[in-house]
Amino acid sequence: PNGLTLTAARQAAARAYELDRRHVFHSWSAQAQIDPMTISASQGCYVWDGEGNRLLDFSSQLVNTNIGHQHPKVVAAVQQQAAKLCTVAPQHVNDARSEAARLIAERTPGELNKIFFTNGGAEAVEHAVRLARLHTGRHKVLARYRSYHGGTETAINLTGDPRRWPNDHGNSAVVHFFGPFLYRTQFHAGDESEETERALAHLEQTIAFEGPSTIAAIVLESIPGTAGIMIPPPGYLAGVRALCDKYGIIFIADEVMSGFGRTGKWFAIEHFEGVTPDLLTFAKGVNSGYVPLGGVAISPAIAATFDNRAYPGGLTYSGHPLATAAAVATITAMADEGIVENAAEIGARVLGPGLRELAEHHPSIGEVRGTGVFWALELVRDRATREPLAPYGGTSAAMTEVVAACRAAGLLMFVNFNRLHVVPPCIVSEAEAKEGLAILDRALTVADQHTS
């Protein structure tokens, strides 16, 4: 698919690999211990590695390419924009940015009608926090354990996973709390309604002990992604909204991973009727990562704070023409082609039932969770004790072997600690979903061997 012969493609990939290992410094990695996979080409739900092997992409490249790889309308839009106007400073108007802002504002919940553009998710979170702090005049931010909010200074401190530890210098004014997660409950709850009630009581107590008048915002992923796709139980997000209203706290919904069709709706928060955040962060699916783009959707009240007072923040590439042209084409194609509906349908009819069926005969599957094309398999050594197949924050031979078995059989997975995430593009067909499920079925026998 990249137009090269197999021999030429392999030679190009070998050179890329050699240069990568010599000159590229990789994210989140011990540089000498990694053997990164080369991706030479991609199309639809598939990618090709450096050897020319085709793999079904159940990772969507960090849960990013919701519209699938190389969508012709998005590629054409980027090419046309490049030919017309490649770059413009953010203080000027440009048509791609205006149109992208309209399309996003029309889809975000409630009246989040002003869009501040960034280059990705972490910057969106940074600016959401800054907006909340300046609007409220307060400094602290509450965030969940078992969350990911990005790799920059405030975003990594908000993150509730071990990547924060080496980056946390204790001066970020971030306080963590436990969210609801019935499978590994902190609250000794027996069912979802009890989990909701106790998780909200814990949050309110955290607010009381920290001092409501010091708390600018609560930031939450509407459905936590990297941390395990835990769908909040009924009433939880409405309860968070009510606590924010009671104490004058800004509710920031982080939809960087869950937004733009991933969960079978434009935004995951729509699964929870009547809950509207004050700020909503997005990135990834907004243009499927074809060109870096993220942003914050802002409520009228927060936007009005800066009507006659300058917002003290900006980015040279805010609303970059190539990125916003890609967003316009992506959102338009997703709407025209029913791609969000496809994600909902495949999740409800194929992936959900298929994964639950796998759980019936694979003892290594502790729990299946998800919606749309946003699923996680929680792998365990023992279903009774729920001992994870890899420790929190770590990996294990068992997990490495399962992922390798998937890859050898032509399936690329997103993996985090003891979880396999099933997160194909939103365009995934029934046949492709079933192809992936069949490979998973075979690969999970490897995990089953590690159960007691």
Residue 416 engages ligand PMP in binding (rule: CB under 6 A): no
Cα–Cα distance for residue pair 47/411, rounded to 1 Å: 10
Residue 182 as a binder of ligand PMP (CB under 6 A): the answer is: no
Of the candidate spans 2-10, 116-124, 314-322, 334-342, the one that interacts with ligand PMP by CB under 6 A turns out to be 116-124
Is the CB of 225 or the CB of 354 nearer to ligand PMP?
225
Closer Cβ to ligand PMP, 262 or 381, answer by number:
262
Buried b (16+ CB within 10 A) or exposed e, 398-425: bbeebbebbbebebbbbbbbbbbbbbbb
CB of 344 to ligand PMP, least distance (A): 20
257 belongs to the binding site for ligand PMP (CB under 6 A): yes
Are the C-beta atoms of residues 425 and 69 closer than 8 Å to each other?
A: yes
- What is the DSSP code string of 258-322? TTTTTTSSSSGGGGSTT---SEEEE-GGGTTTSS--EEEEE-HHHHHHTSSS------TTTT-HH
Distance of CA 405 to the CA centre of its chain: 25
Place of tokens 């835990």: 230
Beta pairing partners, 56: 46, 411
Q: Which stretch binds ligand PMP (CB under 6 A): 220-228, 235-243, 314-322, 438-446?
A: 220-228
Whole-angstrom Cα distance, residue 96 to residue 94?
A: 6
| Of the candidate residues 44, 50, 121, 179, the single one contacting ligand PMP (CB under 6 A) | 121
Describe the crossing of helices 321-336 and 72-84 by its angle, rounded to 10 degrees.
150
Q: Which is nearer to ligand PMP, 295 or 352 (CB)?
A: 295
Is residue 225 close enough to count as binding ligand PMP by CB under 6 A?
yes
Is 125 a binding residue for ligand PMP by CB under 6 A? The answer is yes
Q: Tell me if 260 sits within 8 A of 284, measured CB to CB.
A: yes
By CB under 6 A, residue 421 contacts ligand PMP: no
283 contacts ligand PMP (rule: CB under 6 A): yes
DSSP 8-state class, residue 184: G
Binding of ligand PMP at residue 161 (CB under 6 A)?
no
Instruction: Tell me the H-state helices in 30-187.
Output: 60-63, 72-84, 95-107, 121-136, 153-158
| Backbone Cα Rg of the chain | 22
**How far apart are CB 81 and ligand PMP at their closest, in Å?**
21
Task: Count the site residues for ligand PMP by CB under 6 A.
Answer: 16
Of the residues 161, 221, 367, 432, which one makes contact with ligand PMP according to CB under 6 A? 221
Site string for ligand PMP, 26-65 (x = CB under 6 A): ------------------------------------x---
Q: Which is nearer to ligand PMP, 229 or 368 (CB)?
A: 229
Total residue length of the chain? 452
Tokens of 209: 């002990």
Position 256 contacts ligand PMP (CB under 6 A): yes
Residue 256 or 377 having the CB closest to ligand PMP? 256
Using CB under 6 A as the binding rule, whether residue 372 contacts ligand PMP is answered as: no
The two tokens of residue 41 are: 């080409």
- State which residue, 28 or 209, has the beta carbon closest to ligand PMP: 28
Closest to ligand PMP by CB, 146 or 450: 146
Residues of this chain, 289-318, that bind ligand PMP according to CB under 6 A: 294
Residue 278 contacts residue 252 (beta carbons within 8 Å): yes
By CB under 6 A, name the one of 109, 120, 160, 180 that touches ligand PMP: 120
Distance in Å, CB of 8 to ligand PMP, minimum? 33
Q: Which residue, 320 or 381, has its beta carbon nearer to ligand PMP?
A: 320
Is 295 in contact with 308 (CB distance < 8 Å)? no
204 lies in the binding site for ligand PMP (CB under 6 A): no
The phi and psi torsions of 438 (rounded to 5 degrees) equal: -65, -40
Residue 148 touches ligand PMP, criterion: CB under 6 A: yes
With binding defined as CB under 6 A, does residue 128 bind ligand PMP?
no
CA torsion angle 421 378 179 342 (round to 10)? 40
Sign of the torsion angle spanned by Cα atoms 340, 343, 347, 349: positive
Selected range binding ligand PMP among 47-55, 218-226, 338-346, 358-366, rule: CB under 6 A: 218-226
DSSP state of 24: P
Tell me the window of 117-125, 340-348, 351-359, 439-447 that interacts with ligand PMP (CB under 6 A). 117-125
Interacting positions 59-98 with ligand PMP (CB under 6 A): 62
Binding site for ligand PMP (CB under 6 A): 62, 120-122, 125, 148-150, 221, 225-226, 254, 256-257, 283, 294
